[in-house]
Structure formats: structure tokens, C-alpha cells
Amino acid sequence: MKTTSPVGKSVPRIDARQKVTGEATYVFDLKFPGMLVGKMLRSPHAHARIVKIDTSKAEKLPGVRAVVTAEDTPKIKFGSNEYFFPYTVDQYPLEFEKVRYIGDEIAAVAAVDEATAEQALSLIDVQYEVLPAVFDAVAAMKPGAPQIHAARNNIGVMLPVCFGDPDRALRESDYVHEDVFVLPSAAHAALEPHVCIGQYEVSTDRITLWSSTQAPFKIREAMAKTLKMQEADIRVIKLNVGGGFGGKLEMFPMDFCACLLSKKCGGAPVKMMCTRQEVFSCTRRKHPMIYKLKSGVKKDGTLMAITGEVIADGGAYCSYGPTVIAAGIMRFMMVYQLKNIRLFGSRVYTNNSISGAIRGFGGVQSGFAIESHMDMLARGIGMDPVEFRLKNTTDPNTLTINKMIISSNGLKDCIRKAAEISGWREKYGAKKETSPGVLRGIGIGIAADVMGSKMYKSHESAGSIIKVEEDGSVYLFTGAADTGQGSDTAMAQIAAHELGVAYERIRIKAADTEITPFDTGSFASRVTFISGNATKNAATDAKRQILEVVAQELKLGVQDLDIEDEQVVNKKSGKMLLSFDQAVVLCYSFNYGRLIIGRGSYNPKTTPIDFRTGEGNISGSYGFEAQIAEVEVDTKTGRVKVLKMYDVHDIGYPINPASVHGQIEGSIVMGLGYTLYEDLKFKEGRVVNPSFSKYRIPRSTEMIPIESVFIETNDPQGPFGAKGMGEASLLPTAAAIANAIYDAVGVQIKDLPITPQKVLAALKDIKNKKQE
Amino acid sequence: MPILKDFRYHAPVSVDEALALLRKCEKPVVLAGGTFVLNTLKKTAAYPTDVIGLRKIAPLHGIRDTARETAIGSMTTLAEIASSPVIREHFAVLAEAAARAATTPLRHMATIGGNVASRFFWVDLPVVLMALGAKAAWSGVKTKKTLTIEDFLALTGQEARGILTEIVLPKSGLTGVYFRHTQTIEVDVPIVAIAFAARRQADAVKDVRCIVNTTLSRPVRLAGTASYFETTDIKKWKAAEAAEALRGDLQQSKLDDYRLHCLCADLELLIGKFKQT
Amino acid sequence: MKTVTLDVNGKVFCLDVPDGELLIETLRDRLGLLGTKYSCLEGDCGVCTVLADGKNVLSCLMLTVEAEGRKIMTIEGLTQGSSLHPIQQAFIDEGAVQCGFCTPGMVLASKSLLDRCPLPTKEEIAHALDGNLCRCTGYVRIINAVLSAAQKMKKTS
């Protein structure tokens, strides 16, 4: 790397200064003249037919500017996996036939203030015919269960995967083990609530939407479709986003209604924000899942087959359900090398709130189930869990049974390194008692991550534009949507390095559908890899344009020139020819007048997955990691204390090491919450803990020591060898902790969260069994 | 967009002025630190007409210390209690409980008066105060009196209208311990907690008070458990015997197994602590 | 309505506010101090943190009329011209900022801590920041930033 290159260095975040001074603008901070407040009318019933909606009283309330219902809309459905799963497009922006969960959107109002808007909601008279509802996924699949959509047995998405001859492989196994794992729902709990401002321009018949989103281009597409407008007439702008984690990945009825309300009241901007209760109850949540697994191994540790069934409670609509269930049953195929697999995934409609994308998609659920299950298989044949994994994991340059093409792969190195830094050999099985009744244990979990998932469109391209102005300033335009993970910084670093200039030179304009090139958004750990490559290509293009002018002027071959450390150099002689600023002045001079505008795009080389078989290569590359947890279990109270987490991650190459560590640390602490206490609870379809005082997420006092180490495999596809890594660290955390608890006290907890009560009950069980 | 619906705010400068307002106003509510009351106002249907803020009443602030007792003004914040040298010296258990209640910003705002007068089952301080034998100085709309914390918590209806002015702690040389268990993270409300205080005399303890906060009902006094500790030589204290007494005391309370388990584990720690010192 | 005199970031404001107005509303809507963030409004998340007489409190749980007589500081009051407070600089240097929504509150809570306890331990920092949620960082880098700011401030004082 070049001496002053920002790539590989923990340069300060490009947006950090505004964020520490409080100057950073988020959507809720915007204020426009004449701005109105919008509010959604939501269903109080879990399942009901809408008989009649009368908005006349609300419309007459002084201060109310507009009321909209489905009658004001073209009544077109939207969904998130339309390209591969057109039948999962199942939600209207405003429902008019039926409501399917408590919180389903029926109408919206815009008024001069919040109190008036709320009063107006109470004046909308909706007549419902309440229908029987079903809240449990297994019950919903039974014949005779209330029918939520047209899908047979309420199974919205069915995903069967079968490779090899699993039955034979199980027969040939020396040890076969069956397990059932139960995973609860969880909330993203981003600190910034969902918020948007919609504004209609009467003279042009165009819409501008400011939204706190991870995917502005996806919102634009869904808005255009559901409003029956041209994409070109809709501009979606992302400002600073106060966290997403998968919860801000789609168009919400609120986005749609803010624009529609603005149109109906003649162009006044309409701001809408979810209350914290709405965020918890009516946006998206994690799919609760059940994993029934039956797998077999040989005595020598060879994993023979993984079989089973996965049932996911999808709630009222499909959302990103297909991607989630696909990730839920296919992610381990990047991790384990085996020939016999049969899994049947069902994503089931219920009358709970909508399950959707959340960091890891289904990988967190599968991570807990598969990685706990693997430990039990290893135990069954008396093999060390680390050895067992080293024997069965994938290698570099592997074609998996389902045709995923894995090139760089540091998984085995991750496992070895994690075992080394955690002192696995001395600690595993030691059952050290640190005080009476308090025992220590150590456990491992491993995972793989995609960088991109071509499941929402036919392509997954991202684009970047770089313009170099006369004064030498460099502007980067990228569609990538930074939601706090630091993609703007990483893109600026990549652009600076490739262009050969200082990081401080880069100014970034990101995620504005009218100004920046297309980008599918921040999800599937794709941004560094895909948008990063696009940005690198744009910088290469801009550099070439500058060097062409210099070459012409100095009568040198363009191939012999490069820009490094803000200097144009002759690569052959190493001689500095002129500074970057001088080169730019030359480009814009009388003789040349060459405007420097570089462009780049990137579409990863993948093959679409055939969802009838599960075959295909979903990602351009794959990331890997191993995580080890050290815990202490108090056998008197059942309380589990996580002492330390070790994370070793094949990140390819870290563009910004501090940001990469930050992603890992944030994921682990989020995983800690999901493992030990986070549980979005429902009663008859109603969320019972929709606040931060009832849905507890980790606080600073829960912070644990984390040792995070990188394995640099320098991916051949990634920009400067980098891979995506925003999700993987969350996947193995729960299993690593659960496996460590087993190591400490001999109980394997198979349903999250691992509460003290469950640990105590399990300890009591084994005590009773011993006595028998 | 106002978050709260409007009301009339009053800032009396004396307790008598506050009491006069309480008598006069249609639907008044007393505001101390605000952390409970203002949150409730965001949700309640029974909206007050008047909010009486106690902030400007000087005598309600601060800690008065004499040879015999320590009086904590009801507007003293939890953070002030946690860091007060006097409280830390004489009532360390109260300082610890105050330091562990809620979160730092809430401790900077919430007051001991609000904590006790809220009558929420799950708050931390009343159990500890009961164990320490504290009294509540109460200026009711009808009468002024000094009550035990237990009696104060039992006030209802008209009787419960007034201003809690002080919490008075007798300096009786008690040693206390407080254990709290949460279901999730540290700062969560306790699902069960136990406060214990006693005066050590050679190998015995006197004036034992053992109070459990079940979060399901008002604090429960464990008479049997206290008597076990009082009548048994410290060297002979056994966790199993104490636990049996505790189970006996809590027979009516319908506590689940897990909570009982936590309390029994606490008794073991408590016994260890007393045997050590 | 009440007429209140507020001391915010060392400036004095005389305002007419409804009795029921919360400090977060006054700061954001009347004074345009948007660094005070708006999220749960229940005192649980800490993004609306301000300092009152140097102590971190929640502006969603304080009536504006009760802020009278206290010195209020918002995140905007911490920056002196273009130079950052050492805590702000440490948050940048240690990579403690991700989405930034918790950052103003975190910085102010850290200031309140360092003003009363100039060289805290990691545990003391964790305890002092327990009212400020962060979903991005796992708190690791935030706590490191406060440690490093404390050391820098000690050196310069």
C-alpha cells in the first residue's frame, strides 16, 4: 500500500465531527414552512374484515388538512422479494379488504399539529367484522386454521433443499442426534425511530421523500409501483440514519402516506414519525423460528448429513421472508462441507406483526440451532468441538454441494486462532469452580457471511461517480446508504487511495436517488464489497482521465504514469512529475479544458439460486469467522455471566480497522442481548413489551471484554481484498454462549433467551435424572 | 407538537403553601423529581388540572445530621444519597441501593420522596428504609404525622394526599445488606429483592429486620426469618435453616420457585458476610 | 403560559412557554438546538440528555418551568468556536461514533462523569453511561474514548 494511503488505516469517520457536535442532521430535525404532522390509523384487531371506513368526521375537524384511505390509492401491492418470489408481493400500502395484525395500516391523516392528527384518527369510523385469528406458526399450518392470505395452510414461502442421499447417510452414521431449537422474536431497536417527510410538487407532479432508510432506491421503486408513478418523478433522500439493522430496509406505509397526504393537501410537506411503541409493534421484527434437526456423524468426526425442518412465524405479510428463510436453511452450507442435506423450510403467515429482515437475516436463528447441534454431535462421538469443526468446515477454492463458489476462505485459520487466543486447550472441559457453585465454561460457534444477496432485483449493481473540480476538490457520488456502519468513510478511503490523493480531499454525496448512481442499499453485508468496487472503478476512471492529459502534455505513455501521495509519478523512473493540483490545473487549462468525471459500477459475479433446489452462487465472495465465549454460571441462581468473547474474522482486508472492530463489537453485544434476554413477546397478537423499559437491550454496564482478531485472506474479488462483514459476528454468539454453558454445568439450553429460570430448571432436570 | 397536554404549574416555596394548593386545586398532582410523574402524564387518561412542583421548597432539600438521627429531605436525589458522606458512613446499604437504582440520569433527577411516595411495588428504596427502621415525616392535607414506612405505604385515598417532607433514619448502629435480582440487565427493575439489617452484639444479632420486595405486592416483612437470626448464635447460622424460615414467611405470597431460589441464595451470601465480620 | 428565564449554554433566554412544555421541546423547537435528540420520550434511551448544573439529566422528563434557575448545557454548548472538547475529540479518535444518534447524549454524560470523577475506571464509566443506550458500538469504543479523554484532560490540566 502507498505510504499515505488511507486504506487499511483507522482514519476518522467522515461524519464524526458533525456527530460529536450535534450538527449532524437526521430526518426528524428537518423543518419546512407549512409542514404538517401525519399519523397512521392502525388496526386494533389482529384479523378482521373491513366493512366500512368513514372519514367524514375526521375531515371536518379544524386543523385537519387531508385524510387518505385505500380509496385514494391505485390499490397495488408491494413486497420485497418480487423478482424471485412474485407470489410474496402481498401487502397494500393501505389495506381495504382485511387487516391481518394489530397495527395494520388503514388510513392516514395530516394536520397542523400532532394533537389534532391524533384526534382526527379517533374520529375515523371503521367498521370491522372480527375474524378468528391465529398466532402460532405451527397452529397456522394445520388444516382448518384461520386463512390469512390465499396461501394453502398459511405457508407463504416453502423452501425445500435436498442434496445427496440423506437417509442413507444417516443410516451409515455412527451417531445420530435429534434436537429441537426454539428462537424468539427480537427487535432491531435502532435508536432513531422510523421517520419521513413527504412533499409533493404540484407544478411538476413530482414527489420528494426524506426517509430514515437503508435502501432509498428500493423505496423509490416500491413508491413508483404503488403510486403508479414514474421512478424519475420520485426522489428519495437519505440523511444521517440513526441505526437500521435491517429494520429500515423497505418502503413503509408511512413513507407512502406522507407523500400521498402531501399530494392531497396541495403540496404541504408532511412529517411522520413512529412512536417508540409503533417501532416495536408495527414496523418489522425478527422471525421466531423452530428448528427440528436430525443429523449424523461417523466415529472419526465426519459429518454425514444434516436433515430437518424449519418453521418460521412470518406474521401478517411476507416482507423479506423468502430471503430470511433461504438464509435460515442455507447459510451453514458455506460453513460445513457435506454431501447430504435435506431441509424443509416453511415461512408461515400468522396474525402477529410482520417478520422481516434483521441483521443476519435467518442466519442468527440458524447460527444458534446449527452450532449448538454441531456441539452435541461432537459430544456424541467424544470429539473436541474445535477439532470437529476443523474436520468438517469448508476450505478455500471450494465448490459447495449447492454450487456456491468459495474462493478465499480463512475459516479454519479463524477457528485455530480463536482456540489459540482463548486458551481453549487448557480451558475446555476444565469446569473450573471460581467460587462455591459458580463454574466456568468455554464454547465455540462459527459462521459464514455473504456480501450481497441477489434476491430483490435481477442485478445487484452499485455505481459511483467521481468528479474532480478545477480547484482540485474531489466529490464522490455513491448510492451506498450509510446508516452508521461507516460506509461513507470506507468509500472515501477507497476513492482517495485509488485516485492517489489525501483522504481529506474527498467530499461525499450519498444515497439521493436523483443525484447519486443506483445502489440496492445497505443489507446483506454488501456495501464495502459491491459499492466499494464501484467506487474503486470510478476512481480508476477519473485517474485515467487525468493521466491522459498529463501523458499528452509531457509526451509520455499513459501506462507509465500513476498518481501516488498527491503526485503524478513516472512509474518507471519513480520520478515525481507534477503535483495532483498541478495536474488538475492542466486538465482544466486553455488547451485541454477536460472536465474530470470518473464513473464506475460493479455487479458481482454470481449465479441465481434455483429456489426449487437451493442451488446457486448467491454472493461474489464469502466471509468467515469463529467466536469463542467464556462464561461463568451460578448454579444457585442460574445466572449466566459472559466473561469474555473472542472473535476471529476473515474480513479479507480491513479498509478501516476501527470500523471493522466496531461492527464486530456491536454485533457481539447485540448477540449477547438476544442470547440472554431480548424477547419481543406477543399476547394474542399484541406486543407486550413495546418500550425500552420492558424490551431490555444491553447497556454500557453489560459491556464485556472482546478480543477481536482479523484473518486477512485478501479476497481476489474484494476492493483491496476486502470482504463484507456487518452481520457475521452476530450469527455464532448465541451458540458459543450456549455451548460454553454446557461446558460449565452440563446443560444445553435449546431455546432462547437463556434465562436464569431455564438454566435452573435444566440443572434440576439433570440432578433428578442422576438420582433416578 | 406539545408532548404533554397543558396544566397549571405551581411552584410553592413552603410546605404549607403546597398543602393549600393541594386542598384548593381540582385534580392536583405533586411533582418531585419528575421521573415517574411526567412519564405517567404522557400516558394517563386521568389528567391533572394542576401540577405542584416541590423544587422551590427549600426545607425539602438536603440532609440533616444529628447524633441520634439523620433526616433526608424528600427532594434529595438518589445520586445525592449515593454520594453523601453521612449516608455512606452510617447507612451504607442505603447509599448502595440508591447507587444501583435506575440509571445515572434518572438518579440525578429522581428523589427519595418520589421513590417512596410513588408506592410502586418494584422501587428499591422503601425495602431498604424499612430494614433500617426509617420513619416518614408526612404533612397530609388533614394532619401532620410521623409514620413508619410500612404505614406510610398503606395510606390510601384522602389520607394519602399530602407532602412527604422527610425520611428520618435512627442511628442505631445497624449493619445492612441489600440484594436485588433482575430478569434481564443490571439496571432493570428487580423481580425480587431483599433488604436485611441488624445490630451486631458479639456472636448474636439484635433488632433484625428482613424485608422482601416481591414486585407483586407491597414489601413483606419476614418475621420468622428475623427471629431465626435473632435467636441463633451467628456461628450456628445455617443457610438451609434460614431458607426454611424464609419459605415459611413467604408461604402466602405465592412467590414462584425462581424468586424463592434467588432469595435463598441471598441468605447464603448474607450469612457468609455476617460470619466473616 | 409562564414566562421563564433560561440559562442555556451560557446564554440567557426569556421565553413564554406553556406550563406543560418539556425542556426537550423548548430546546429543539424554540431554541433550535437539534443536537438534543428525540426518541423514546420515556427516559429510557438517553438521547435527549442535557446537563443541568453539570449533571446529566433527561430533557424529556423535565418541565421547562423547572429548568429555570439551573445552568443547562446542550451538546452545542460544549464546542468552543471550532475547537472540540477533548471528549468529543476522543470519540472521533477512538472510533466511538457510528450512527451518531446516541453520541451527543453519550458525550454529555461523559462530561458529567469526568467533571465529578476525573480519572474513572472502566467500571465507573460503564456505570455512569448506563442511562444512554447505543445499539451500534457495543459500548467498547465509547468507554475507551472516555478513558482516553480522561487521560488527556489530566495531562493538560
C8 with C57, same domain: the answer is yes
ipTM score assigned to the predicted complex: 0.98
| Contact state of B186 with A698 under an 8 Å Cβ cutoff | no
**What does the pLDDT read at residue B1?**
58
In a domain, B2, yes or no: no
Question: Which of B39, B80, B104 would best serve as a mutation to test chain C binding (most C beta carbons within 10 A)?
Answer: B104
Count of Cβ atoms closer than 10 Å to residue C123 Cβ: 11
For residue B181, the enclosing domain spans: 175-276
Contact with chain C for residue A245, Cβ under 8 A: yes
Beta pairing, strands A64-69 & A105-111? antiparallel
| Contact state of A113 with B1 under an 8 Å Cβ cutoff | yes
With beta carbons under 8 A apart, name residues in chain A contacting C130: 699-701
More confidently predicted of A84 and C6: C6
pTM given for the model: 0.97
C34 with C57, same domain: the answer is yes
Contact with chain C for residue B37, Cβ under 8 A: no
| Contact state of C22 with B8 under an 8 Å Cβ cutoff | no
B155 with B201, same domain: the answer is no
Non-local CB neighbours of A367 within 8 Å, separated by 6+ positions? A331, A360, A445, A447, A730, A731, A732, A733, A734, A735
Contact A560, A570 (CB under 8 A): yes
Closest chain C residue to A487 measured between Cα atoms?
A: C98
DSSP string, A487-556: HHHHHHHHHHHHHTS-GGGEEEEE-BTTTSPPB--S-TT-IIIIIHHHHHHHHHHHHHHHHHHHHHHHT-
**What does the pLDDT read at residue B44?**
79
Contact B138, B113 (CB under 8 A): no
**What does the pLDDT read at residue A457?**
78
In a domain, B75, yes or no: yes
Choosing from B136, B170, B204, the residue where a domain stops is: B170
Nearest residue to A484 via CA among A186, A190, A188 = A190
Contact with chain A for residue C42, Cβ under 8 A: yes
| Contact state of B187 with A699 under an 8 Å Cβ cutoff | yes
| A397 residue type, one letter | N
The answer to whether the Cα torsion of A546, A549, A553, A556 is positive or negative is positive
d(CA B12, CA B10) in angstroms, rounded, equals 6
Contact A577, A561 (CB under 8 A): yes
In a domain, B1, yes or no: no
- Among the partner-chain residues B8, B39, B186, the one whose CB lies closest to the CB of C19 is B8
Tell me the count of A-B CB pairs closer than 8 A.
Answer: 44
B192 with B160, same domain: the answer is no
Tens digit of pLDDT at every position of chain B (277 positions): 578 988 999 999 999 999 999 999 999 999 999 999 999 998 877 899 999 999 999 999 999 999 999 999 999 999 999 999 999 999 999 999 999 999 999 999 999 999 999 988 889 999 999 999 999 999 999 999 999 999 999 999 999 999 999 999 999 999 999 999 999 999 999 999 999 999 998 889 999 999 999 877 889 999 999 999 999 999 999 999 999 999 999 998 889 989 999 999 999 999 999 888 7
| B86 residue type, one letter | V
Choosing from C22, C52, C77, the residue where a domain stops is: C77
| Contact state of C138 with A241 under an 8 Å Cβ cutoff | no
B66 phi and psi angles, rounded to 5 deg: -125, 180
| Contact state of A240 with C99 under an 8 Å Cβ cutoff | yes
C90 with C42, same domain: the answer is no
Please provide the distance, in angstroms rounded to a whole number, between the alpha carbons at the two ends of chain B. 58
Cell of A467: 468528479
**What does the pLDDT read at residue A608?**
85
* Domains of chain A and CATH, by start: 16-24+461-602 (3.30.365.10), 31-131+191-243+250-282 (3.90.1170.50), 289-454+608-771 (3.30.365.10)
Contact with chain C for residue A504, Cβ under 8 A: no
Beta pairing, strands A706-711 & A640-650? parallel
Classify residue C71 by its DSSP letter.
E
Secondary structure of A694-720 in HEC code, one letter for each residue? CCCCCCHHHCCCEEEEEECCCCCCCHH
With beta carbons under 8 A apart, name residues in chain A contacting B185: 677, 696-699, 701-702
For residue C140, the enclosing domain spans: 86-156
| Contact state of C43 with B187 under an 8 Å Cβ cutoff | no
Tell me the count of A-C CB pairs closer than 8 A.
Answer: 172
C10 with C36, same domain: the answer is yes
C17 with C68, same domain: the answer is yes
Contact B234, B162 (CB under 8 A): no
| Contact state of B185 with A698 under an 8 Å Cβ cutoff | yes
Nearest residue to A254 via CA among A231, A228, A229, A284 = A284
Question: Which of C38, C102, C111, C136 would best serve as a mutation to test chain A binding (most A beta carbons within 10 A)?
Answer: C136
Q: C-alpha distances in angstroms, B236 versus A435, A436, B224, B264, B273?
A: 22, 19, 17, 17, 14
**What does the pLDDT read at residue C87?**
98
Contact with chain B for residue A702, Cβ under 8 A: yes
- Among the partner-chain residues B1, B5, B186, the one whose CB lies closest to the CB of A701 is B186
d(CA B42, CA A137) in angstroms, rounded, equals 35
C56 with C23, same domain: the answer is yes
Helices B257-276 and A756-771 cross at an angle (nearest 10°) of: 90
Contact A218, A250 (CB under 8 A): yes
| Contact state of C21 with B186 under an 8 Å Cβ cutoff | no
**What does the pLDDT read at residue A43?**
98
Q: How close does chain A come to B259, measured CA to CA in Å?
A: 9
Number of alpha carbons in the 13 Å side-chain half-sphere of residue A648: 22
The answer to whether the Cα torsion of B32, B33, B36, B37 is positive or negative is positive
Chains touching A (at least 3 CB pairs under 8 A) are B, C
Non-local CB neighbours of A593 within 8 Å, separated by 6+ positions? none
B158 with B182, same domain: the answer is no
Specify the CATH number for the domain of residue C20. Answer: 3.10.20.30
Contact with chain B for residue A704, Cβ under 8 A: no
In a domain, B121, yes or no: yes
- Among the partner-chain residues A16, A190, A192, the one whose CB lies closest to the CB of C92 is A16
d(CA A711, CA A446) in angstroms, rounded, equals 14
C70 with C15, same domain: the answer is yes
Non-local CB neighbours of B85 within 8 Å, separated by 6+ positions? none
Q: C-alpha distances in angstroms, C93 versus A396, A490, A658, C132?
A: 36, 16, 10, 20
What's the distance, CA A622 to chain centroid?
Answer: 15
B114 with B143, same domain: the answer is yes
**What does the pLDDT read at residue A3?**
61
Q: At which residue does the C-alpha cell 404533554 appear?
A: B4
Question: Which of B77, B108, B184 would best serve as a mutation to test chain C binding (most C beta carbons within 10 A)?
Answer: B108
C29 with C91, same domain: the answer is no
Cell of A368: 444458534
- Among the partner-chain residues B1, B184, B261, the one whose CB lies closest to the CB of A760 is B261
| Contact state of B265 with A676 under an 8 Å Cβ cutoff | no
Contact A526, A456 (CB under 8 A): no
**What does the pLDDT read at residue A1?**
44
- The answer, yes or no, to whether residue C136 has pLDDT greater than 70, is yes
Contact B116, B180 (CB under 8 A): no
| Contact state of A700 with C39 under an 8 Å Cβ cutoff | no
DSSP string, C7-39: EETTEEEEEEE-TT-BHHHIIIIIT--TTS--S
Q: For residue A517, is the peptide bond before it cis, meaning its omega torsion is within 30 degrees of 0?
A: no
Specify the CATH number for the domain of residue B107. Answer: 3.30.465.10
With beta carbons under 8 A apart, name residues in chain C contacting A13: 92, 95, 97
Q: Which residues of chain A have pLDDT under 70?
A: 1-3
Span A73-112, pLDDT tens digits: 999 999 999 988 999 999 999 999 999 999 999 999 999 9
Q: Which residues of C touch B (CB under 8 A)?
A: 2, 18-22, 24-25, 41-43, 46, 49, 52, 55-58, 60-63, 65-66, 109, 112, 127-132
Q: How many domains is chain C partitioned into structurally?
A: 2
| Contact state of C135 with A666 under an 8 Å Cβ cutoff | yes
The answer to whether the Cα torsion of A103, A106, A110, A113 is positive or negative is negative
C93 with C29, same domain: the answer is no
B179 with B140, same domain: the answer is no
B89 with B134, same domain: the answer is yes
With beta carbons under 8 A apart, name residues in chain B contacting A634: 265
d(CA A411, CA A446) in angstroms, rounded, equals 8
Cell of A126: 371503521
Closest chain A residue to C40 measured between Cα atoms?
A: A276
Closest chain C residue to A11 measured between Cα atoms?
A: C93
**What does the pLDDT read at residue A684?**
98
Chains touching C (at least 3 CB pairs under 8 A) are A, B
| Contact state of C43 with B105 under an 8 Å Cβ cutoff | yes
Choosing from C32, C48, C77, the residue where a domain stops is: C77
Count of Cβ atoms closer than 10 Å to residue A684 Cβ: 11
B190 with B163, same domain: the answer is no
Nearest residue to A17 via CA among C111, C153, C88 = C88
d(CA A714, CA A700) in angstroms, rounded, equals 34
| Contact state of A756 with B258 under an 8 Å Cβ cutoff | yes
> Which element (helix H / strand E) includes A692?
none
Q: How many domains is chain B partitioned into structurally?
A: 3
Specify the CATH number for the domain of residue B229. Answer: 3.30.390.50
